Amino acid sequence: MTMMDSAKNDNAHGNILPGGNLKLDRFDVKGELPQRRLLAWRDRVGHVIDVLPSLAQLEMPFNASIDRYRIGDRVFTDCVSDALLLRRSVARISTDNIRDYAFHVFTDGGIESIGGVHAPRSRNGKRPLASIVALDMNQPVRMHRSSCRVLTLFVPRANVEAALPHAESIHGRVFENTTPLTGLLVEHVAALAKNLPGISASEANKALDSSVQLLLAAFGKQASLSGNARAAVRAAMFDKARRYVQANLHQAALSPASLLDALQLPRPTMYRLFEHEGGLGAYIRNCRLREAATELVRFPNLPVSKIAYGLGFNSASDFTRAFRRAYEMSPQDLRAMALWGISNDIENNAAGAGEKTQRGGNAVQLSDMTWPAAMAAPSSPRTRGSKLPSETMKMDSRVRGNDA
Q: State the pLDDT at residue 369.
A: 29
59-118 pLDDT, tens digit per residue, is 899 999 999 999 877 899 999 999 999 998 877 787 788 999 999 999 999 999 887 444
How far apart CA 319 and CA 337 sit, in angstroms, is: 19
Between CA 172 and CA 117 the distance in angstroms is 10
Dump pLDDT digits (tens) for 224-277: 665 555 566 677 788 788 889 999 999 999 999 999 999 888 888 888 888 877
What pLDDT does 375 receive? 39
* Burial class of residue 384 in the structure, from the number of CB atoms within 10 Å of its CB (0-12 exposed, 13-18 middle, 19+ buried): exposed
Beta carbons of 119 and 176 less than 8 angstroms apart: yes
Q: What percent of the chain has pLDDT over 70?
A: 73
Are 279 and 257 contacting, i.e. CB atoms less than 8 angstroms apart? no
Q: Identify whether the C-beta of residue 210 lies closer than 8 Å to the C-beta of residue 224.
A: no
The per-residue pLDDT for 199 is: 86
pLDDT category of residue 21 using cuts at 50, 70 and 90 = low
Mapped onto helix, strand or coil, the DSSP state of residue 73 is coil
In the chain, the percentage of residues whose pLDDT exceeds 90 is 35
Average pLDDT, the chain: 77
CA 363 to chain centre: 27
CATH of domain 3-222: 2.60.120.10
pLDDT value for 334: 86
Comparing C-alpha atoms, which of 89, 43, 48 is closest to residue 390? 89
pLDDT digits (tens, 9 = 90+) for 122-141: 455 556 788 999 999 998 88
Helix (H) or strand (E) holding 270: helix 267-273
Q: Using alpha carbons, list the distances in angstroms from residue 21 to 24, 105, 197.
A: 10, 24, 12
Contact in structure between 167 and 137 (CB atoms under 8 Å): no
Question: What integer pLDDT is reported at residue 2 of this predicted model?
Answer: 56
Q: Is 38 exposed, middle or buried (0-12, 13-18, 19+ CB in 10 A)?
A: buried
* Nearest-angstrom CA–CA distance, 185 and 92: 30
- Alpha helices for 223-266 (secondary structure H): 229-247, 256-263
Higher pLDDT pick, 333 / 178 = 333
Amino acid at 394: K
β pairing state of 174-176 and 141-145: unpaired
* The pLDDT value given to residue 365: 37
In this prediction, residue 189 carries a pLDDT of 93
The predicted structure's pLDDT at residue 349:
47
Q: Does pLDDT of 55 surpass 90?
A: no
Continuous H helices in 23-65: 37-45, 55-58
Q: Are 403 and 77 in contact (CB under 8 A)?
A: yes
pLDDT at 68: 94
CA 330, CA 346: separation in Å to the nearest integer? 25
The residues, ordered by sequence, that sit 6+ positions from 98 with a Cβ below 8 Å of its Cβ are 1, 2, 3, 6, 48, 137, 402
Q: pLDDT band at 352, cuts 50/70/90?
A: very low
